Amino acid sequence: MIDDKHAVLLIKCPDRPGIVAAISTFLFTHGANITDLDQHSTDDEPGAYFMRLELQTSRLDKPLDELRREFADQIAEPFAMEWQLGASHMHRRLAVLVSKHDHALMELLWEWKRGDLPADMQMVISNHPDLRAPVEAFGVPFHHVPNAKEQRASAEDQMLGLLEGKADLVVLARYMQIVSPEFIRHFPNRIINIHHSFLPAFVGADPYRQAWDRGVKIVGATAHYVTADLDAGPIIEQDVQRVSHRHAVEDLKSIGRNLERRVLARAVKWHCEDRVITHGNKTVVFA
Amino acid sequence: MIDDKHAVLLIKCPDRPGIVAAISTFLFTHGANITDLDQHSTDDEPGAYFMRLELQTSRLDKPLDELRREFADQIAEPFAMEWQLGASHMHRRLAVLVSKHDHALMELLWEWKRGDLPADMQMVISNHPDLRAPVEAFGVPFHHVPNAKEQRASAEDQMLGLLEGKADLVVLARYMQIVSPEFIRHFPNRIINIHHSFLPAFVGADPYRQAWDRGVKIVGATAHYVTADLDAGPIIEQDVQRVSHRHAVEDLKSIGRNLERRVLARAVKWHCEDRVITHGNKTVVFA
Amino acid sequence: MIDDKHAVLLIKCPDRPGIVAAISTFLFTHGANITDLDQHSTDDEPGAYFMRLELQTSRLDKPLDELRREFADQIAEPFAMEWQLGASHMHRRLAVLVSKHDHALMELLWEWKRGDLPADMQMVISNHPDLRAPVEAFGVPFHHVPNAKEQRASAEDQMLGLLEGKADLVVLARYMQIVSPEFIRHFPNRIINIHHSFLPAFVGADPYRQAWDRGVKIVGATAHYVTADLDAGPIIEQDVQRVSHRHAVEDLKSIGRNLERRVLARAVKWHCEDRVITHGNKTVVFA
Amino acid sequence: MIDDKHAVLLIKCPDRPGIVAAISTFLFTHGANITDLDQHSTDDEPGAYFMRLELQTSRLDKPLDELRREFADQIAEPFAMEWQLGASHMHRRLAVLVSKHDHALMELLWEWKRGDLPADMQMVISNHPDLRAPVEAFGVPFHHVPNAKEQRASAEDQMLGLLEGKADLVVLARYMQIVSPEFIRHFPNRIINIHHSFLPAFVGADPYRQAWDRGVKIVGATAHYVTADLDAGPIIEQDVQRVSHRHAVEDLKSIGRNLERRVLARAVKWHCEDRVITHGNKTVVFA
């Protein structure tokens, strides 16, 4: 429902009776018909409550901005909600960081170009110059920012200069450099990485070789939000494929490329459609 | 949430603004905390609305029966709802019809015995005497009702005598006899069949041989509600498995046995947990 | 094993004792080490025998051409074999026919560019001019050959002029025009089509709408060799994905696009790696 | 091909030219028609070679025993093979160790009873008395051998007394006790365990809780040979299923039960059909 007649409400708050009644009555009163609603509450005490709600905006009795102010006062404040209410055609601004492997990047560019990824592709930044031509062929700006270990700080400064105020979501599409905690702090739960293994198996370097050494019969890929704790951030999506003794390490890498682009594309799409809420080190995904 | 403190509300009605507000406000007013809510509305005009809602009954301000009466008057009637509200520990009564293949039946019996299938297993009826011992070992009554073509009518009379008032759901777990439209009329959308193919491919007899003849690379199984239109009732669940040129027809049958029992068990479980609503010849499954 | 030191032997013949012994002894005698061997024989009487064998050519005692002649005389002729023996670095020449949907075509172009598809991409032919720019960006020639119903014969003549002697395999990557039996006769078992359903379910037009109408819980795609019998040629590969009542026809199409490109890319790759043998209306795939 | 007219030859040896020629010529000479052949060689130098071969024994020119002696002298010895050649109707003798969870055990018993598991079910041993009745209902002897930590040694002595000379394969179908290195030494690569996670993720206790804590989107199960190194033996088979934030730890356990029984049943079946060869800490599975 990506058009100018819908909005998405995303909520996280302490669980208690009456949340659905309060929200749905508020929306009904203001002419906002609910077209989709998904919710989740945790079992612990006190529980946490999560909701994603799609609503039609065509018959609202006031502009969305004004509705937001009233929702804040009348509903969000009393229920202590973290929330957002966005028109579904107001796209997230996306920046992709990449090194030399193009498969995950190309998948995002094609999905975006085809209209399957509701986002504004702002720029691609790479520590290598190699992918300039294919990126610019999509009409997307390409920035080459070298980022060797010894120049990390200045490289990240340069990237932050490019990104801040321009990107709502940063996607690491096989960006083979460490990202510093300082950098991450600018984009809390707004950096998505694709890890080329079925986390938490095979953290660290060269996971396909690790997988091959262990003789697993299934390999996977994991998309997760980046936190200061390497490879340990909240998992958004995973997928797997069967392998056998016939597959050499290179075969696993080739199979993995297909997994990585699929998994990353799904995770980025869900984020851009306001389907993901983080909670501690986990995610609620209303897919 | 199968305990004596929850109930499930299942609803189908014409779509219009205010349904969620009306229901959730009604429940909140009566002390019924919502623990799970799923909904769906169709895109056509006029649309249909479907909802499944789990609620806590421990702090209700009145008995469930009374709540039902008020809900009928105040909510269901004005919104023209088809609905049901059942305590989740009030189990569906189950009867299984089977011929000689035991795999799908045994899966149901074991799931039920382990507590993974919230139902009361009332009886097993078979047109063959072979499976009496393993069924009775579970403490479940076994009835042998021969059902050759020429005695169909009297056999079905005898089965109806056993079933009526005793079974809320009839499961055909590889029951290799035609069931007459008259019989079906007694259990509208309450007979589940397992078809040994990925419907609508390979309707009719010997689907594994048909699949082998066509050289498909994937075989499947389908659980569906039985209607007068053979193999064409609303699909509840399907699953598949890859096969190759190495598999003979017998291998497909063996693979299929595992598919059939898995697919049927899931469909029966979802029905018993009030997760399935039929709409025309399709289902909404809140799984 | 796509290098200049390997060759692939592909064989189909009546089954009888001694085939493996004859072939492996012949190869051993001539210095050809076997690095991979897969075989299959059918259960019927008389049975058919199929074999795929990879061998190292670096220590051959004579050129591959000469070996072929001796193999023909000494082995293939006495065993009545259909066979081929090709150096694995001698790539198949590929031509892709496409209409407006670019997803399956782009997948092939990217796989090819990345080196994951061992083929020579000769040309893309389309009945629409739209995809010229992205195709030419890959350095691949693009030919626009309009092909409306009334100009079928001349359009096919023009395409045959472009293809003959230039293409070993023709791939229909969502080519939305009928291909005539005359055209097919030029490329027996050398035209691969991607059908956007899980054949044999939903033959004919608009399969995603058919799938949606039937309420299936899984959709699929099928790659098959094109024969004069529409949608009924030998199946090479299939894959599926779960769907639910939440998916509209448009969603099925979007999910289907990902299935189609994956399935077609696998089928084309297997064909180009000499992994597919047709037998009647079925395939043996040594994947 | 489980009948009295087939045998399976399983081989592992250093890779070198001429192995296939030697074996297939030997078999052809003695009237043994090859009905299935699968092989694998590793890429390292010197490589290892693996082969599984099914042959018809009906037209052998001598008894299988005699053939074995000649094969040992003429083929196995010169090629330094580890090998076995067994008539496919000579079943492996199976013993199952179990604690209280019955799901994996029941799957094996049903598969065996249905004729889908080619093995002789010799006995079930449990450290709890609970499962005696359902096991004995299958006509299988049940032994209760208490095995608390402090009585480990004597318990294992008692089990060895029951097993030795009676069991070719020991299956741990959710046996919740540590098995000592001494015990394992009696059954090298002949103990199969089902681990309730997607190894190597979540080794150690309570893997479903670990998986839930980490917020993974897919859970799995792993069947592996037991070595002295806990949870680290050669993996035979794995399978997975998608989960979401909706699943509590108990749900993961329930989903896991279905995974465990499926994965263990496949691994045991492949072992009994002589489809598994271990190599270092990995397996070659000719499935």
Instruction: Give the CATH number, domain containing residue A25.
Output: 3.30.70.260
Model confidence at D3, pLDDT cuts 50, 70, 90, reads low
CA–CA dist B193, B200 (Å, integer): 14
Q: Does the distance separating the beta carbons of B24 and A20 come in below 8 Å? A: yes
User: Which of the residues B38, B54, B258, B273 would you substitute to probe the D interface, choosing the one with the greatest number of D C-beta atoms within 10 Å?
Assistant: B258
Same domain, A62 and A106: no
Of D110, D137, D258, the CB nearest to B137: D137
Answer with the one of B40, B68, B87 that is the final residue of a domain: B87
Q: Is residue C245 part of a domain?
A: yes
- Contacts for D85 with CB less than 8 Å, ≥ 6 apart: D7, D8, D9, D10, D64, D67, D68, D71
Catalytic annotation on C231? yes
Q: Which residues in A lie closer than 8 A to residue B18 (C-beta atoms)?
A: 28
Answer with the one of C45, C69, C87 that is the final residue of a domain: C87
Rounded to an integer, the average pLDDT of D166-178 is: 96
CA–CA dist C12, C24 (Å, integer): 15
Q: Which helix (H) or strand (E) holds B154?
A: helix B152-163
Query: In this structure, are strands C119-126 and C82-87 parallel, antiparallel, or unpaired?
Result: unpaired
Residue D34's domain comprises 6-87
Same domain, D15 and D97: no
Same domain, B23 and B130: no
Q: Which helix (H) or strand (E) holds B272?
A: helix B249-272
Rounded to an integer, the average pLDDT of A144-165 is: 94
Range with lowest mean pLDDT among B43-47, C158-162, D103-107: B43-47
- Contacts for A144 with CB less than 8 Å, ≥ 6 apart: A125, A126, A127, A128, A129, A132
- CA distance, residue D199 to nearest chain C CA (Å): 25
- Work out the percent of chain A whose per-residue pLDDT is above 90: 90
Which of A137, A139, A92, A113 has the alpha carbon at shortest distance from A268? A92
- ipTM field: 0.93
- Residue B179 pLDDT: 94
Q: Is residue D222 part of a domain?
A: yes
- CA distance, residue A225 to nearest chain D CA (Å): 12
Same domain, C201 and C264: yes
Q: Is residue A79 part of a domain?
A: yes
Of B106, B254, B262, the CB nearest to D110: B106
Q: Which of D120, D231, D239, D251 is catalytic?
A: D231
Question: Searching chain D, which residue's CA lies closest to the CA of residue C17?
Answer: D33
For chain C, the domain total comes to: 2
Q: Find where tokens 């490289």 sit.
A: A155
Same domain, B65 and B98: no
D89-112 burial, b if ≥16 CB within 10 A, otherwise e?
eebbbbbbbbbebbbbbbbbbbbb
D67-120 per-position pLDDT tens digit: 999 999 999 999 999 999 999 878 999 999 999 999 999 999 999 998 999 999
Q: Does B130 touch chain D (CB under 8 A)?
A: no
Same domain, A47 and A75: yes
Same domain, D249 and D164: yes
Task: Say which DSSP state B52 is in.
Answer: E
pLDDT at B273 over 80: yes
Question: Searching chain D, which residue's CA lies closest to the CA of residue C48?
Answer: D35
Rounded to an integer, the average pLDDT of C225-240 is: 94
Q: Is residue B1 part of a domain?
A: no
Can you give the CATH number for the domain in which B193 is found? 3.40.50.170
Same domain, D125 and D97: yes
CA–CA dist D151, D162 (Å, integer): 17
Q: Is residue D1 part of a domain?
A: no
Of C198, C235, C281, the CB nearest to B198: C198
Q: Which residues in D lie closer than 8 A to residue C55 (C-beta atoms)?
A: none
Q: Does D110 touch chain B (CB under 8 A)?
A: yes
Q: Is residue C1 part of a domain?
A: no
Answer with the one of C62, C87, C112 that is the final residue of a domain: C87
Q: Is residue A81 part of a domain?
A: yes
D148-160 per-position pLDDT tens digit: 888 999 999 999 9
The mean pLDDT of chain B is: 94
- Residue A3 pLDDT: 65
Which of C206, C202, C184 has the alpha carbon at shortest distance from C193? C184
Same domain, B54 and B164: no
Rounded to an integer, the average pLDDT of C22-50 is: 93
Same domain, B72 and B108: no
Same domain, C80 and C54: yes
Q: Does A86 touch chain B (CB under 8 A)?
A: no
Q: Which residues in B lie closer than 8 A to residue A34 (C-beta atoms)?
A: 17, 19-20, 39
Same domain, A68 and A116: no
C179-224 per-position pLDDT tens digit: 999 999 999 999 999 998 988 999 888 999 999 999 999 999 999 9
pLDDT at D225 over 70: yes
Q: Is residue A1 part of a domain?
A: no
3-state secondary structure A88-118: CCCCEEEEEEECCCCHHHHHHHHHHHHCCCC
Q: Does the distance separating the beta carbons of C35 and D28 come in below 8 Å? A: no
